[in-house]
Chain A
Amino acid sequence: MSTMAVARLELRRLAVRPLAWALAALTIAWLAWTFILGLGQFLGAQVKLAAVADAPGFTDLVAIPLLAELAKLAFLVVPLMTMTQLAGERRGGTLALLASTGLSPRHIVIGKYLAVLVWLGLWLLATVAMPLVVGAESTADWGKLASATLGTALLLATLAAIGIACSAATSFPAIAAAMALIVTLILWTIDRGAQAAGVTGGFLEWLTMATHLQNLLRGLVVTSDLVWFALAIALSLALAIRRLGADRERQ
């Protein structure tokens, strides 16, 4: 009940914030342009593709690249969406006011996280609607598209949790956004050194976010990938809750 009250309040604030609308409009326009370009190229190459056995289809050449483009945009968009969630509240004095309503740090963090998830869910839905509409009239690989959508949804949920944790760590929204971007980039490329040295597999590769997303984008739903995303989300939210709880001690 309390968590939902926080989520409703936060959704209302997101709905009237120009940043949320501007980000949604600009990114969906960009993704629509990317989709139209991809679709045009796919239609132009259909004659050649028809001659190739097991040639990639609409899902591989149009739908999944579109979701990969969304994932790239999310690196920037999600930190911008989450940066004010707690840092802005703390700076404006409203975080203490929220705490004085008897809400626990867990209620505040989870409520805000849910609100961001709703926004990101709608963003993902608007993007997936493009290949869904075209796919309904062609021969889309629905299983692969579902796996890729799941992977993108988990990526967005993880980035949101990281963004909330970074927002909990500071009173400056810009610093929170920068921190979230850096943490995400580190998680994305942490095994780059090992790869350069020719080492594959192992803990560093497991730790890398890209490893887990790429499997899902290829249509592979593996339990260890799902566990990785769940752990990353749980750890980030736990850190945010802990930091918010410390506010009552440290301020």
Chain B
Amino acid sequence: MSAAPLLNVEGVSRRRAGRAAVVDVSFSLNAGEVMGLLGVNGAGKSTSLAMLAGALRPDAGSIRLRGEDFVAQPGLARQLIGWLPENAPSWPELSVEEHLVAFSRLRGANRPAARRAADAIVERLRLGDLRRRLAGVLSQGQRQRLGLACALVHEPALIILDEPANALDPVQVGELRRLIRERAAAGAAVILSTHVLAEVLAVCDRVAVLHEGRLRHDAPLRGDEGAAALEATFFAIATGAAA
């Protein structure tokens, strides 16, 4: 008998800017699982992730986190969810360290605990050199790492990463992949949204493909054979050949 899923999404839909951005999406995710969310630009990936992070409310459907209704109780996100939005927004006048302490405190940690959490994530992401630097003077890649650190500082059970490899150099991309696997091994579930197939193939156990707001594919990824099949499936969906 398998344990109840960490995340259960049922029939979620959302209109945005006058069009159906996400339509009747359902899936579930277990602890320790890494799911890649693929789709071309405008497929509905960011809208889906914003709903899973609690920043947007679905028009229809349910999202359950550890069995609790997340739509009715967005406060559940406080401890359970870490979200890196697209473009990694930050406050330009605050330093890297101030961001990390602030995010930890916003999620309920007291000052000493927030400092310890900030120290730990600084060490893990090797942000020591940037620690006292203002977010406003960081490069795009450095801001991306700061956003990642803010998403992980409270060690969430569900990690939602929207294009996390944006602007990272190859060494940092390798480090990001190790970090994702490490968190999954520690029991966190990870959703990784990207339009880069190689990214998904490198770290994910399972792949979902969104197209025009609908979930068109959701299957485990198995070795090289799975990679070739995924590529064929993705292009068929993205070009409309699999309609």
Contacts and interface: CB of A to CB of B under 8 A. Distances in A.
Interface residues of B, number: 30
Given A5-B106, A9-B106, A103-B106, A96 B77 contact: no
Contact of B103 (A17, A101, A104, A249): A101
A102 B107 contact: yes
A180 interface: no
B85 A98 contact: no
A103 B106 CA distance: 8
Nearest to A91: B89
Contacts of A9: 102, 105-106
Contacts of A70: none
Contacts of B75: 102, 104
Interface stretch (B54-62, B166-174, B177-185, B233-241): B54-62
Contacts of A1: 108
B93 A17 contact: yes
Contacts of A16: 93-94
Contact of A100 (B53, B93, B108): B53
A97 B87 CA distance: 12
Interface string B75-106: 11111010101010111011000100011011
Contacts of B50: 96, 251
Contact of B89 (A97, A101, A249): A97
Contacts, number: 80
A99 B94 contact: no
A94 B54 contact: no
A101 B77 contact: yes
B16 interface: yes
A6 B107 CA distance: 10
A173 to B, nearest CB: 14
Interface of B: 16, 50, 53-57, 74-79, 81, 83, 85, 87, 89-91, 93-94, 98, 102-103, 105-108, 150
Interface of A: 1-2, 5-6, 8-9, 12-13, 16-17, 92-94, 96-104, 248-249, 251
- Identify the 10 closest CB pairs spanning chains A and B, nearest first: A102-B78, A93-B89, A96-B55, A102-B77, A100-B53, A248-B57, A102-B75, A101-B106, A5-B105, A100-B83
